[in-house]
Amino acid sequence: MTTGAPITEQTKAKYVAPETTARAGLASDWRVWVAGALVLLVVAYFWRAHRQALEAAAAAKNKHPMIPVTAVQAQRGDLKLYLSAIGSVSPFNTTTVKTRVTGAIDKIYYTEGQIVKVGDPLVEIDPRPYQVALVQAQGQMVKDQATLENAQITYERDQVLYQQGVIARQDLDNQKAVLDQSRGAVETDKGAIASAKLNITYSYITAPIGGRIGLRLVDLGNVVQTTDTTGIAVITQLQPIAVIFAIPEDDIPKVVKEMRAGAELPVEAWNRDFSKDLSTGKLLTFDNQIDQTTGTVKLKAQFENDDYALFPNQFVNARLLINTIQNAVLVPTAAVQKSPQGNYVYVVKPDDSVMQRGVTVGATQGDLSSIKSGVNDGDTVVTDGVDKLQPGVKVNVHQATFALSEHPTVQ
């Protein structure tokens, strides 16, 4: 060190003892460790508190678990009331076409399953024997006509001779009888001619009604006779077509009331398992007496059957619409529960708890029920899981929907 040079702060710093610097570093590290420990303690405290809260919530949930249910919202709509019964499709007309003359089949104009109209040609029977009979009858008539003319001339001449006293009265009467016989022969010939012409007409068989023709019953060359029972073809009318079904006698007043009011009652025809609506028609009439063995009365409905969905002798499920409740509060029938005190439903409140509410049911049709009082439009009612419910319990709601138009089910 040079004597007399000034000593600055920087110079002092260069000559600070190493021990002092080490002690300062240790003090700084200690403060960092303390701060870190405090942070860890705080984190551990909050983590433990959060865990305790979760455990408490889980314990509370296990103590009062939420019950899973299915629920729907009540809706306003129209409820259609039906009478359902098993029916049978029946054609209005079925005809077995038979021959009116005997002869061999020359031509067949139809094909199996063809839709024919009234007057369409079906079969031609060999007309030649009847054409020959026509010629013979016409020839015989010419002969008898000549005989008649001759008898007429003779009778007129005998009248003059009788007046002159030339012939006796008996001769005049005899000639009058000959004249009448000749007239009778001519009339007989006219009948024979008409009969031959009619047989020729009958040789050309046409469809007496419109409809679907069945399987062929005769072939070309077959000889058919008027005494045959099987016939030549069977024609069944398919448009329109009828469905006949029976309803209980207790329901007759409902139907009579609507018909007397002039209402046209729709009838639906469904397939066996109610999976398809085949056709819709209208009620025509009902039978005039009750079947005492079954306590039912038969009804007849008409269907246009434009798409040939209905077939003769087919079994269908017929549904007769007898009334419509308009603008009613509708809920699934499964939501309505019964008790000795009356009907009730479980309504889900906004806090996911349920309350039991008494209801007045207006009418029920299949899966739908109309509610007169107790449920409002938009209320959420439980339809599945009601057996586990009590008023006030919490529920886990699976929201479902339902169709306002009731779908029929197998009875």
Domain edges within the chain: 18-63, 67-78+326-399, 83-92+236-324, 102-205+217-231
pLDDT in the model for residue 402: 78
pTM of the model: 0.68
DSSP 386: G
Min mean pLDDT across 15-29, 275-289, 328-342 is at: 15-29
Q: Which of 26-40, 196-210, 378-392 has the highest mean pLDDT?
A: 196-210
Q: How far is CA 23 from CA 1, 19, 28, 30, in A?
A: 27, 6, 9, 11
Task: Name the CA dihedral angle for 107, 112, 113, 115, rounded to a multiple of 10 degrees.
Answer: -10
- Helix, strand or coil, per DSSP, at residue 51: helix
Pick the CATH number of 67-78+326-399 from 2.60.40.10, 3.40.309.10, 2.40.420.20, 1.10.1740.10: 2.40.420.20
Q: Does this chain's domain 67-78+326-399 share its CATH topology with 83-92+236-324?
A: no
Is the Cβ–Cβ distance between 276 and 310 less than 8 Å?
Answer: no
Express as a percent the part of the chain with pLDDT over 90: 65
Res. 319 pLDDT band, cuts 50 70 90: very high
Is the Cβ–Cβ distance between 101 and 125 less than 8 Å?
Answer: yes
| Predicted confidence (pLDDT) per residue in 195-211, tens digit | 999 999 999 999 999 99
- Helix, strand or coil, per DSSP, at residue 138: helix
Task: Please list the residues that pair with 241 across neighbouring strands.
Answer: 91, 303
Distance between CA atoms of residues 147 and 126, nearest Å = 34
83-92+236-324 folds as: Elongation Factor Tu (Ef-tu); domain 3 (2.40.30)
Q: Give the angle subtended at the CA of 120 by the CAs of 118 and 123, to the nearest 5°.
A: 125
| Predicted confidence (pLDDT) per residue in 129-166, tens digit | 999 999 999 999 999 999 999 999 999 999 999 899 88
Q: Which residue has the higher pLDDT, 222 or 37?
A: 222
Report whether the peptide linkage leading into residue 240 is cis, meaning its omega lies within 30 degrees of zero: yes
